[in-house]
Structure 1
Amino acid sequence: MKKDELLKKIEDLSDLEKDQEIIDMIEALPAEQLNNEIIGQLVRAYIKVQNYEKAIEVLKSIEKDEKNTMLWNYRIGYSYCYLDDYEKAEKYFLKAHELEPEDQDIKKFLFYIYMELSKQIKFSEDDLDNQKKALNYALKAKEYITTNDDKIECYSYLAFLYNKFTEYQKAEELLKIVISLGRDDLWIHSELGYCLGELNKLEESLEHYLKVIELEPNNIWALSQIAWTYRCLGKYEEALKENFKALDLGEKSEWVYVEIEYCYKGLNNYDKAIKYYLEANKISKDKNVWLLSELVWLYDGIGKYENGLEYLKKLEKLGRDDSWFNSEYGFCLIGLKKYNEAIEKYKHALEKEKNVKETIHYNCQIGFCYRLLEKYENALKYYLKAQELGKNDEKLNK
């Protein structure tokens, strides 16, 4: 069969999508009838039947003659791309782009490849090397944007990365561009709401969280974020309303109970604050040092020193032994009229404290305990120390 007739038959079969017939026909040809154009058609057919390994094998057979052509690099890059071997695909598409820099299809593949390379990289919060690598691939993808859809996809992903890396201003800028391009879904408003919250733009953040709820009324995460934002704005009643919605939807988490407690504390309702802290503590099973410390502070603050002491002992078992812990322990013991024990705790707090204001306070508390024990010389010693450190008020001078 003459070359022109063969090419015409291949074209007709291709139009009918009979690619396996093309493969069988070309592979049956004697070697003297084969040339690079015919072999190129064989590659094309292998690609269309998704036999990318065979396509690469055939392409390699004509590499010496064709490696500097756009079509050869495009086809081998395409095959590697569909085998998810993006690093090899990148190499060949970059060569194709060098040969034909305005080709839109090549740009589309390079965009896709760099996005996939970025998404493949796993990184932790402190893994700066991989964070940088993921970001650099995404920024390379940005260079090959050809459509608004590409821009929306790339800018959204870059914003996601910047939020992960706590570069919130960069994330905010990109997310707002994406919205201006028409993206208006749950993800974009969630991401921008979070970003603005981290930038302390709370009112603006709230607008986007409320948009999430418009799109998905029972989104528990958004309800919790709205509650957190209201609480940060000092709008405790509004925050409670959203937290209780989350509870009703089944979000009985440590986070929600703590947020409810914060609100009641802000409203000076300490009994209810303690109630919800206790719920949170049930979940943490007496293992959350911060929670236990808050319970101590609340109980001591309302004069329930026996309860405060109970949680101080739990903290002690978990190993807390800093200045705050010892001073709070001392305060609780004063409430229980155990002045000698209180003195020892405040002395221990002094050993660990570097802040002058707190040091003054601890000296005064020790002096106060000694005075109640009628050990006036000892009391005077600590009052004078407080005075030396800068304490000088009417109460001390008396």
Structure 2
Amino acid sequence: MILNNDEEIQVEEAILKADELISFEKNYEEAIKYLEIALISHPTNYLLYSKIGYSYMQLEDYEDAVIFFKKAISFSQEDSTTYYNLAICLEELNFENYDEIDAYYEKSIKCALTSFEKDPSNHIYIKYIADAFFKLENFKKAINYYERFLKYQLDEEVLEFLSYSYIYQRENFNKAVETLKKTIKYSEEKSKKIHLYKVLVTVYYFDLKDYKKSIDTYLKIIELVDEGEYAVTYFKIAEIYRRDIKDYDTAIKYYHKSLQYDENYEPSYTWLACTHNYKKEHSLALKNFLIAKDLNPKSVEVYNNLVYIYSDLGMYEKVEENLKKALKIDPKYDASLLAMLEVNLISKKEFDKKCVDTIFETYSNVKSVMAEYNMLRILKLAVENKDISTELKQWEEKYSTLRQGYSIIALQNWATNLDPKLKQIILDALKIFKKEN
């Protein structure tokens, strides 16, 4: 189609207006209208199709985006961003041909390398290459190209994805920390800073096992988040003190701090109670467990926690009462099933047949559960004055690689009230059951 000068000017103005709408106003629907006007006179212009595809992509209309990106590729196979964006859209659509998606990322890399060779001063192609390698999970090459790009230009997004590349490569977590801190420094958006601090916590906590720095980072997060997030964040700090540092007094302090900002936050009551229980402060433990139960009466875990505290207090009627409530909520919960058998053992009752049947129906192939079931079964044989030496040997051979996770202390306390001979048999057996290999 041949245009006169006025028509050509109108088309150029339409393209410029579309670019302005995309880049500055983020008005993608209006941009599409102007680009479609330009297509009438330029029906084979790959860039117009690619820009329309990009606009649909930003509108999260990935199906239409794919149509226009593929149309763009039909007219030109040299644009890196078109291949890259096409692959992204197919991922968003849960397209199952992963080889095809990877092929588009690889073509994106090839096009970007060719373009960079032609124009080495245009460093954006280095970023395109890095991004595609990141999507292909080739983090070593992604790191290489991201670092090359940063030599020419400081870019917050590149720093962020360089950080992720170090994390996913799992070889240099200190470098990941260094890059995350730099990204946070240059990030102006508060929500982005919060997100990056949370990523930093995961590296400190899970990868570097640096609990002090994990806590320090949570305290920085508290400086940024809204007050509505204080309860959860203080709870996470308390958890580190309880679970990892074993500083129970400080953990208790932070659980209370969490509850200052949300007096109905059940997890803080639950783990505050557990921490008091660790310290043998049973009355405080029971008080907080009961509050947790009132806040979350349908939680199996809450009732199981009450079971443990009542067991430590020797209140076995309460133990059984709460176990029945737990099993009513979830009849297949392994901890409740096993705890009921423990109560049967201590109360000199036959094992609850329904619980035993459920254990075998649901957990016969779960070694950890069967180890605990067989532990209780062997102890019951001992109480019945039967020889358990062969059973113990078989248990140790079968489960010797398991770390016994059952309430050994409660069973030891129970054994102390048995006659001397049986007491010794039970305590000797428990030494085998609690052994860690």
Alignment TM-score, normalising by the size of structure 1: 0.62
In the alignment, which residue of structure 2 is the partner of 1:149?
Answer: 156
In the alignment, which residue of structure 2 is the partner of 1:228?
Answer: 239
Q: Does the 8 Å CA contact 1:261/1:277 hold for their aligned counterparts?
A: yes
Tell me the amino acid that sits aligned with residue 41 of structure 1: E
1:241 aligns with 2:253: yes
Shift of 1:323: 7.3
1:207 aligns with 2:236: no
Q: Does the 8 Å CA contact 2:341/2:376 hold for their aligned counterparts?
A: no
1:55 aligns with 2:37: no
Please, which of 196, 204, 208 is the counterpart of residue 204 of structure 2? 196
Which structure is larger by alpha-carbon Rg, 1 or 2? 1
What secondary structure does 1:343 align onto?
Answer: coil
1 CA distance for matches of 2:343 and 2:96?
45
Please, which of 35, 38, 54 is the counterpart of residue 81 of structure 1? 54
Cα gap change, 1:318 to 1:394, in 2 (>3 Å):
closer
In the alignment, which residue of structure 2 is the partner of 1:14?
Answer: none
2 CA distance for matches of 1:54 and 1:326?
64
Q: Does the 8 Å CA contact 1:323/1:348 hold for their aligned counterparts?
A: no
Please, which of 413, 421, 424 is the counterpart of residue 395 of structure 1? 424
1:147-181 CA distance string (max 9 Å, x none) = 5133145457x57xx99xxx694896656423224
Cα gap change, 1:334 to 1:237, in 2 (>3 Å):
same
Matches within 5 A, 1:128-167: 139-140=131-132, 147-152=154-159, 154-155=161-162
Please report the RMSD computed on the Cα atoms of aligned residues, expressed in angstroms: 4.9
Q: Does the 8 Å CA contact 1:289/1:318 hold for their aligned counterparts?
A: yes
1:200-239 CA distance string (max 9 Å, x none) = 4433322311222344594333212111111122111111
In the alignment, which residue of structure 1 is the partner of 2:195?
Answer: 187
What secondary structure does 1:252 align onto?
Answer: coil
In the alignment, which residue of structure 2 is the partner of 1:273?
Answer: 285
* Segment drifting more, 207-216 vs 344-353: 344-353
1:24-80 CA distance string (max 9 Å, x none) = xxxxxxx8734874353243365357743443333323335xx4xxxx544553354
Q: Does the 8 Å CA contact 2:235/2:254 hold for their aligned counterparts?
A: yes
Tell me the amino acid that sits aligned with residue 203 of structure 1: K
Cα gap change, 1:170 to 1:95, in 2 (>3 Å):
farther
1 CA distance for matches of 2:393 and 2:3?
105
1:71-114 CA distance string (max 9 Å, x none) = x544553354345365466558879997688xxxxx7x998x68
1 CA distance for matches of 2:74 and 2:260?
58
Point out where structure 1 has 5 or more consecutive residues left out of the alignment.
1-30, 102-106, 371-378
Cα gap change, 1:93 to 1:395, in 2 (>3 Å):
same
2 CA distance for matches of 1:94 and 1:174?
37
Alignment TM-score, normalising by the size of structure 2: 0.57
Shift of 1:314: 1.3
Cα gap change, 1:56 to 1:305, in 2 (>3 Å):
same
* Segment drifting more, 209-218 vs 142-151: 142-151
2 CA distance for matches of 1:274 and 1:87?
59
Matches within 5 A, 1:301-312: 301-312=312-323
Shift of 1:311: 0.7
What secondary structure does 2:350 align onto?
Answer: helix
Shift of 1:298: 1.9
How many residues align? The count is 328
**Percentage of matched positions with identical amino acids:** 15
Q: Does the 8 Å CA contact 2:180/2:200 hold for their aligned counterparts?
A: no
2 CA distance for matches of 1:128 and 1:98?
23
1 CA distance for matches of 2:202 and 2:9?
57
In the alignment, which residue of structure 1 is the partner of 2:141?
Answer: none
2 CA distance for matches of 1:258 and 1:220?
14
1 CA distance for matches of 2:323 and 2:199?
40
